[in-house]
Structure 1
């Protein structure tokens, strides 16, 4: 079965459904609907095959609906799920449709269809929140009651909430001035969110969104791949060039010797992970770490090297601050070759989390030192790659911590990691990747005035 061809076929079919509804084409739906078809309307009404066919002649009167396919998932050989965003009379509806067929040679039949109206202030394609998590509210409540007898403890389940905010800057934060206090908060969150693996990301600035490089509005001015103009203006160009960058990376990795190499050959996620970690090109992946100390180090900016063998705590005359973001995932994906045959967890959550040291070769020093993981929306298609709203990881936020260093954040027991520990100066693989990706006379988007 040609999976890509099936994805295209299903995408075309679902766009055609909207056209046929507007045309009130009963014969089309008689051929499309499975015998046991059922639909749940946005109004809450449920219909069978017979009632849907009776009503379809009225469905499109005086209306024109637009259909945007947001995801197509081919499940095995005989099942598929398609999500669409339909706009009708100024209102938007999420449509979830289940298709089945008796064999790979037969036509797809629509088995089930569920609609839901999208509120005006909610992005219909936003990454799914984590339901029922314990965040800073639970931690603060615990600090109030932990000294009491167990029988007097408050029921912390009342503090459960869904992750995320519309804007990252609106999320409440907790100020922390010592690494030990940070570890205390994280220890509590790890115990309370037992079903999740916690991931950490450190940033100097608290931006409105948590976006991968491909979806950010601007390019970092010091990036090798930066061209004149904003990221918004050139995003399609960067996305179209990414596949060529992947091929160059694959060539270098194969030349250097890569054990268990099939994931690099067959999985774009694996190639994106290498590209993103080495900052070779903008990708749809966002960096996190399983190491709290690594993330806290980067929250204060690029780490420094110490000139002597003695530990340097901090400069008390220069206050520094940064932000640490905590999220959680159900599974760290190490064997990408298991996708898409074993991807129920990823499809349920709408994202895949790649353990970086499982996809990078042993000679790639940085990925193994930084304990990095990369998170990406799953499954992907070209439509949402160009839409930042679909790739904002703010919706996955469990806790935001503001780190403040007035000279005593780090200690001899918990020192800040050095630049040599996280960004080694000798990384031959990184050098070889850069020289292959950025040869002289690289092309650039139309209208750009700077060279890559």
Structure 2
């Protein structure tokens, strides 16, 4: 995608480097009212772009110490082409399963969904079934703040402001910026409640799936206008504003949630090809758990740096480190030379993987 240089106010520029907004800890904001006023000024300054928001409890950074925002299907420290293709295979089969279940359970508003992959991917992404090339945004600052603070045990959270092309259709494809923007409220069937409560949008780099030249072209930090740091405290909301409750962000009696949970079970059980797929899936779980154990150290949030840091502060013992390293070496062999590995050889590593996951649970 094409990058932009957003414009920020002089006051914001006194702390934030306008040319490198992804670095640093973000501009500190004390109240929601203050945040709204800053964003109003940013919207005025950045008239060529439509502003969208994203809230996170952790500021994930890359090796260059810059905030990074990859769609879920492209996440990982090192991502061989074979693994990306495997993830797209999973996505394709999950999409087929979604259409199959829709045919049998839902009648209203599904015609276009059955025909267009971007709408299928949008549902699978928003209900967290599997990785997709899409990333979640919202047009609501209150929704972004609520997500950032939801079940957040840290002292702060982060609000990111992105500049995207103006929307021209329900699915807007901008060839100049190589971006797709999807307005979920216009394309989701009425039985899919979650997108309506979250005022959700999704974006992706257009015309690219697993055949990208450089992974960095898929990082949405290229569209970042500014990063704010907000306190995880009731005082942030002040009088007249309040956080959206989890039950409102994730409403009950959502038929699509039930359908997507069924697909998620199938993805884990059937859609991945044999023991190889299961091993890679569990390895991904190990990576995520190691990173999540290190959530307070935002400068050390890749898998390898998190593992190194946890070892340094003795949060996990050396035997667990050694077992994880054994799994990592086998995983590399599996990805780079799959023809050398038989399914029988995977079995003992699967047992070790389960042991490691259990051990991580005890340590977390």
TM-score of the aligned structures, taking structure 2 as reference length: 0.66
Q: Distance in 1 between matches of 2:51 and 2:90?
A: 33
SS in 2 for 1:382: coil
More helix by share: 2
Contact 1:201–1:287 (Cα < 8 Å) also in 2: yes
Mapping for residues 98-113 of structure 1, pairs under 5 Å: none
Q: Distance in 2 between matches of 1:414 and 1:402?
A: 18
Mapping for residues 346-361 of structure 1, pairs under 5 Å: 346-361=174-189
Contact 2:26–2:229 (Cα < 8 Å) also in 1: yes
Q: Distance in 2 between matches of 1:447 and 1:411?
A: 48
Deviation by residue 1:252-305 (Cα, 9 ceiling, x = unmatched): 3343435454432332211111110000110011100000000011112348xx
Give the number of the structure with larger relative contact order, counting CA–CA contacts within 8 Å between residues 6 or more apart: 2
Q: Residue 174 of structure 1 aligns with which residue?
A: 27
What's the offset of the Cα at 1:187? 1.1
Contact 2:12–2:27 (Cα < 8 Å) also in 1: no
Mapping for residues 7-406 of structure 1, pairs under 5 Å: 127-131=1-5, 133-135=6-8, 137-140=9-12, 168=22, 170-171=23-24, 173-208=26-61, 209-217=68-76, 234-257=83-106, 259-302=108-151, 320-332=155-167, 334-336=169-171, 343=173, 346-384=174-212, 388-406=215-233
Q: Distance in 1 between matches of 2:109 and 2:55?
A: 31
* Distance change >3 Å, CA 450–CA 400, structure 1 → 2: closer
Q: Distance in 2 between matches of 1:270 and 1:410?
A: 34
What's the offset of the Cα at 1:451? 7.4
1:416 aligns with 2:243: yes
Contact 2:161–2:225 (Cα < 8 Å) also in 1: yes
Pairwise CA RMSD of aligned residues? 3.0
Matched length: 271
Contact 1:323–1:400 (Cα < 8 Å) also in 2: yes
* Distance change >3 Å, CA 138–CA 350, structure 1 → 2: farther
What's the offset of the Cα at 1:355? 0.6
Unaligned ranges ≥5, structure 2? 62-67, 283-364
Contact 2:183–2:200 (Cα < 8 Å) also in 1: yes
Q: Distance in 1 between matches of 2:281 and 2:35?
A: 43
TM-score of the aligned structures, taking structure 1 as reference length: 0.54
Q: Residue 348 of structure 2 aligns with which residue?
A: none
SS in 2 for 1:239: helix
Contact 1:328–1:398 (Cα < 8 Å) also in 2: yes
Deviation by residue 1:316-368 (Cα, 9 ceiling, x = unmatched): xx8731111101222235434xx7xxx4xx10011111011212110111100
What's the offset of the Cα at 1:387? 5.5
More strand by share: 1
Unaligned ranges ≥5, structure 1? 1-126, 144-158, 219-229, 304-317
